């Protein structure tokens, strides 16, 4: 998992490490990693010698990192200029930059086209900064925006103006192409809306791992999914591999039932059962002849397109006492006593807002806070769908996935996801694992199906099999023919 820690945790770990290192050694490690990342950018776009880098420097350690990195860049033949946006900046870093041939201006200045930087380094605010930007920083960014060609913008640690611990935004902020962070990820790197301002995130190892506690948020990676995927044993049969039941669709929304079954019938469970509208059941049998009718299950997926039947389907599924995915129409029928840690609730922002009695805009502005609140309030795992999906456990653990393309925002995609998570539950995964693995697989299948272009929900379901094969294939083995 990609681990993200709070500001307090990071500062405590840095203090523990600095107690064992010579003074200034940690900043030198950070500056070296930062300079290397910038050199890689420049090398990839025509070479570093003679290129221009502009530093936007504030008063904290991020400004110091930028100044020391600037000194290293200047010694490699880069023309480095720094704009000092506060009265005080890191003294030793400023001295090092001047000694290496870099220039420091105490305020923003107008730039001629010939002076336009290739890279701008955002060292304005550190991880302890409040959301929003001071006036001097806004003035500097306006001068950069006025250039005829936009330079690449690299954030030191994370874009200035975002909240490190919550991923929230409040006012103007930097939007980076690359964020170079140190030691561990910050929550804002993994959680929207701030994550959308970070661009690509590059982690520089500082040796903090031994001093860091459990993370506040984890980012799901392909290796995590491969390790968690259920695999049949030689002695298994269809029942021991797990049976998932689907109660979804209606005469009004028959496609929801078909798509939920398509997600459940990805092969991860040994059998899929469908219970619902007779006309939908007939269409399911035609599309998926392996799907059978009512009987015992190890997990349910309930709610997608359920319409007037959603409440009855939810009550009947919950009466079985097995792990259950509660989606779409069924979410509206949850009652206070329904909460249990074997449930996975899968709302989008509007549905989560209704569950919590708040406005949708509030959920979208602070998704981490609201998904945690919902998980605690319902005593269940809650998966909040989005560009970066968040999965929260009632104990406060949160996982983030960001494997899907923007094309995944299409009708019916959530129905496929619900069925997929139900299959993972039936196969034996714990609710937190089933939800986070299912979310990552869903996004990866969408990426495969899309290939950079539009998709519909059925494309995602059809791409699941090959996505799973790729993950399950032993490392180094030859790919099967396309």
Please report the pLDDT score of residue 479 as a whole number.
Answer: 55
Whether the CB-CB separation of 258 and 286 falls below 8 Å is answered with no
Percent of the chain as helix, strand, coil, to the nearest 5:
45, 15, 40
Positions in the chain short of pLDDT 70:
476-482
Same fold, 2-219 and 222-472: no
Please report the pLDDT score of residue 129 as a whole number.
Answer: 80
Q: Which residues pair with 104 in a beta bridge?
A: 82
Query: Residue 390 and residue 407: Cα distance in Å, rounded?
Result: 18
Q: Which helix (H) or strand (E) holds 222?
A: helix 222-228
Query: Residue 350 and residue 355: Cα distance in Å, rounded?
Result: 9
Phi/psi of residue 398, nearest 5 degrees:
-135, 140
Q: State the residue for tokens 């032993």.
A: 474
Nearest CA-CA partner of 347 in 337, 339, 336, 355: 355
Whether the CB-CB separation of 173 and 195 falls below 8 Å is answered with no
Please report the pLDDT score of residue 481 as a whole number.
Answer: 37
Query: Residue 286 and residue 458: Cα distance in Å, rounded?
Result: 15
Whether the CB-CB separation of 169 and 146 falls below 8 Å is answered with no
Query: Residue 443 and residue 241: Cα distance in Å, rounded?
Result: 24
Going through 34-182 in order, the beta strands assigned E by DSSP cover: 52-57, 79-84, 103-105, 119-123, 152-156, 178-182
- Where exactly are the structural domains of the chain? 2-219, 222-472
Could you count the other beta carbons within 10 Å of the beta carbon of residue 135?
Answer: 9
Q: pTM to 2 decimals?
A: 0.95
Please, what CATH class does the domain formed by 2-219 belong to? alpha beta
Distance of CA 246 to the CA centre of its chain: 28
In this structure, the strands spanning 185-186 and 2-5 are: parallel
Kindly list the distances between the CA atom of residue 191 and the CA atoms of 33, 403, 419, 435, 456, in Å, as whole numbers in the listed order: 24, 13, 25, 17, 26
Q: Is 482 exposed, middle or buried (0-12, 13-18, 19+ CB in 10 A)?
A: exposed
Kindly list the distances between the CA atom of residue 432 and the CA atoms of 258, 363, 464, in Å, as whole numbers in the listed order: 25, 21, 20
Q: 192-207 as b/e, with b when 16 or more CB fall inside 10 Å?
A: bbbbbbbbebbbbebe
Whether the CB-CB separation of 344 and 385 falls below 8 Å is answered with no
Nearest CA-CA partner of 328 in 410, 415, 406: 415
Please report the pLDDT score of residue 274 as a whole number.
Answer: 98
Fold exhibited by the domain 222-472: 3.40.1190
Instruction: Quick: pLDDT tens for 385-406.
Output: 999 999 999 999 999 999 999 9
Query: Residue 186 and residue 5: Cα distance in Å, rounded?
Result: 5
Q: What are the residues whose beta carbons fall under 8 Å from the beta carbon of 262, sequence distance 6 or more?
A: 287, 288, 416, 419, 458, 461, 462
Residues 219, 224, 228, 232: is their CA dihedral positive or negative? positive
């Amino acid at each position: 998992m990609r681990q993200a820690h709070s500001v307090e945790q990071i500062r405590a770990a840095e203090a523990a490490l600095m107690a064992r290192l010579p003074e200034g050694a940690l900043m030198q490690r950070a500056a070296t990693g930062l300079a290397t990342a910038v050199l890689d950018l420049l090398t990839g776009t025509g070479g570093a010698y003679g290129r221009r880098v502009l530093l936007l420097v504030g008063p904290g350690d991020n400004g110091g990192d930028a100044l020391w990195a600037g000194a290293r860049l200047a010694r490699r033949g880069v023309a480095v200029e720094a704009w000092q946006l506060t009265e005080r900046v890191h003294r030793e870093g400023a001295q090092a930059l001047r000694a290496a041939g870099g220039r420091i201006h105490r305020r923003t200045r107008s730039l001629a086209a010939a002076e336009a930087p290739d890279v701008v380094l955002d060292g304005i605010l550190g991880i302890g900064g409040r959301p929003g930007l001071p006036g001097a920083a806004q003035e500097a960014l306006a001068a950069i925006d006025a250039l005829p060609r936009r330079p690449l913008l690299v954030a030191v640690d994370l874009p200035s103006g975002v909240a490190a611990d919550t991923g929230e935004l409040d006012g103007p902020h930097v939007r980076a192409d690359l964020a170079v962070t140190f030691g561990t990820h910050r929550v804002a790197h993994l959680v929207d809306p701030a994550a959308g301002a970070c661009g690509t995130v590059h982690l520089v190892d500082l040796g903090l791992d031994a001093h860091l506690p459990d993370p506040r948020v984890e980012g799901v990676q392909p290796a995590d999914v491969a390790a968690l995927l259920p695999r049949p044993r030689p002695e298994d049969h269809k029942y021991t591999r797990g049976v998932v039941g689907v109660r979804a669709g209606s005469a009004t929304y028959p496609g929801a039932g078909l798509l939920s079954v398509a997600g459940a019938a990805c092969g991860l469970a040994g059998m899929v059962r469908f219970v619902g509208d007779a006309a939908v059941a007939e269409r399911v049998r035609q599309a998926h002849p392996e799907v059978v009718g009512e009987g015992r299950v190890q997990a349910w997926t309930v709610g997608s397109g359920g319409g007037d039947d959603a409440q009855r389907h939810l009550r009947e599924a919950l009466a079985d006492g097995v792990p259950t995915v509660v989606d779409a129409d069924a979410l509206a029928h949850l009652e206070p006593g329904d909460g249990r840690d074997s449930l996975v609730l899968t709302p989008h922002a509007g549905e989560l807002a209704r569950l919590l009695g708040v406005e949708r805009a509030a959920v979208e502005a602070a998704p981490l806070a609201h998904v945690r609140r919902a998980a605690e309030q319902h005593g269940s795992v809650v998966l909040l769908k989005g560009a970066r999906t968040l999965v929260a456990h009632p104990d406060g653990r949160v996982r983030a996935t960001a494997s899907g393309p923007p094309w995944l925002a299409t009708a019916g995609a959530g129905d496929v996801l619900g069925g997929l998570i139900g299959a993972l539950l039936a196969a034996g995964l714990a609710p937190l694992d089933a939800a986070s693995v299912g979310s990552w697989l869903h996004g990866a299948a969408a990426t495969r199906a899309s290939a950079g272009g539009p998709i519909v929900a059925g494309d995602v379901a059809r791409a699941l099999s090959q996505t799973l094969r790729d993950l399950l294939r032993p490392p180094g083995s030859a790919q099967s023919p396309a």
